[in-house]
């Protein structure tokens, strides 16, 4: 395998020779003559670009996808401050081989630890369709997603060696008191911006949650696993050759696995569908992790934790919306999250578990 191509942090600076070096690093012996670059998706913190390739020698993929820092200064600053870019690069370098989840295969990943300039050059999974968080998914799509989540969670379920993975360890200084202080800073701005787009009942639920942060921040030490922490439709690709693939590993962490599940179902399904199908869907997820070797975690415990973590989407909606650059689609997405998760928590009596 050839030497590392080096970091090109902005897609406008990419050249055919550099793409040739990227492919050779990934085991493809072909020379890129030219390419066409086109932005894809609407990421909040990252920018994804498809490079359609023309070759002068050899045969390689018709296209690859590059991921780079957001062009929005606020979003880029957030990605650096939260170490999102560092986490994603190192997920591909260190953690992907230890789980079974399907995600685009990397040709080349690199980051400068000092500046967080980075690039991810990944397999372009085509044909595929990105999920739509605002529109919501079907029950069949949800079943696919939860089975795939089990392939992330089960291999590292209560795995003590996760404590040796330095880049996903929580910062001791960012503990419960920091979170409560941070919430107190973010929450008023969220209410000022979005209260007109939330029902009275949902605002009351959010206010009640704000009064019970101690209960939210206190939980049992197990179970824990490797978690995605932004496991939602916009980060899933659905296709024919690859039925489902999970993207965007900027928030990978050690966490409670049911946080991913509740976060996905709470906003990914419209409320009418969630009410009817959520218990069966959680049961199917529980069956999948048990088949993969998880034991000592009964379904009723699993469903209780699903109820408790219905607040995950509210937390994300409040904090993330205040940290990234504001866009029209971003507002729609955050409102879908906030309103649907508030309904989920209300209908599941989740406040009683805090």
From 76, 134, 39, select the one nearest 250 (Cα to Cα): 76
Q: What is the CATH number of domain 128-353?
A: 3.90.1200.10
* Each residue's pLDDT tens digit, 229-281: 999 999 999 998 999 999 999 999 999 999 999 999 999 999 999 999 999 99
Per-residue pLDDT, 255: 94
In the structure, what pLDDT confidence band is assigned to residue 73 with cuts at 50, 70 and 90? confident
Q: What is the CATH number of domain 11-123?
A: 3.30.200.20
CA–CA dist 317, 321 (Å, integer): 6
* Each residue's pLDDT tens digit, 317-331: 999 999 888 889 889
Q: What is the percent of the chain with per-residue pLDDT over 90, rounded to a whole number?
A: 84
CA–CA dist 125, 105 (Å, integer): 9
Rg (CA), the chain: 20
- The distance of Cα 319 from the centroid of its chain, to the nearest Å, equals 15
Q: Could you tell me the residue ranges of all domains in the chain?
A: 11-123, 128-353
Per-residue pLDDT, 1: 42
pTM of the full predicted structure? 0.93
Query: Quick check: helix, strand or coil at residue 171?
Result: coil
Q: What is the mean pLDDT of the chain?
A: 94
Prior bond of 127 cis (ω within 30°): yes
Query: Quick check: helix, strand or coil at residue 131?
Result: coil
Per-residue b/e over 62-95, b at no fewer than 16 CB within 10 Å? Answer: eebbbbbbbebeebbbbbbeebbbbbbbbbbeeb
* Each residue's pLDDT tens digit, 39-54: 987 666 778 999 999 9
Q: Which of 151-160, 212-221, 338-347 has the weakest average pLDDT?
A: 212-221
Per-residue pLDDT, 261: 98
């Amino acid at each position: 395998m050839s030497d590392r191509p080096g970091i090109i942090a902005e897609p406008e600076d990419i050249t055919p020779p550099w793409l040739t070096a990227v492919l050779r690093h990934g085991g493809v012996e072909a020379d890129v003559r030219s390419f066409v670059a086109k932005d894809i998706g609407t990421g909040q913190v990252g920018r994804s670009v498809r490079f359609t390739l023309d070759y002068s020698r050899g045969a390689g993929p018709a296209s690859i996808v590059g991921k780079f820092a957001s062009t929005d200064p606020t979003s880029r600053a957030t990605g650096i401050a939260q170490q999102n870019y560092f986490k994603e690069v190192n997920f591909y370098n260190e953690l992907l081989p230890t789980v079974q989840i399907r995600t685009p295969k990397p040709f080349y990943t690199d980051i400068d630890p000092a500046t967080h300039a980075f690039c991810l050059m990944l397999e372009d999974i085509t044909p595929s369709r990105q999920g739509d968080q605002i529109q919501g998914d079907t029950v069949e799509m949800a079943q696919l997603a939860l089975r795939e989540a089990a392939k992330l969670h089960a291999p590292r379920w209560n795995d003590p060696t996760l404590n040796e993975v330095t880049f996903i360890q929580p910062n001791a200084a960012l503990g419960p008191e920091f979170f409560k202080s941070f919430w107190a800073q973010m929450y008023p701005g969220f209410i000022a911006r979005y209260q007109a787009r939330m029902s009275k009942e949902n605002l009351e639920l959010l206010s009640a949650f704000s009064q019970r942060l101690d209960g939210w921040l206190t939980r049992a030490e197990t179970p824990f696993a490797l978690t995605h922490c932004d496991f939602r439709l916009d980060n899933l690709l659905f296709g024919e050759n690859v039925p489902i693939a999970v993207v965007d590993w900027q928030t990978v962490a050690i966490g409670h696995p049911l946080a991913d599940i509740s976060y996905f179902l709470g906003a990914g399904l419209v409320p009418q569908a969630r009410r009817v199908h959520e218990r069966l869907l959680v049961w199917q997820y529980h069956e999948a992790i048990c088949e993969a070797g998880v034991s000592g975690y009964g379904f009723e415990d699993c469903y209780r934790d699903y109820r408790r973590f219905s607040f995950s989407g509210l937390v994300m909606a409040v904090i993330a919306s205040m940290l990234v650059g504001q866009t029209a689609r971003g507002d729609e997405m955050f409102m879908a999250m906030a309103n649907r998760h508030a309904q989920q928590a209300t209908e599941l009596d989740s406040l009683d578990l805090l």
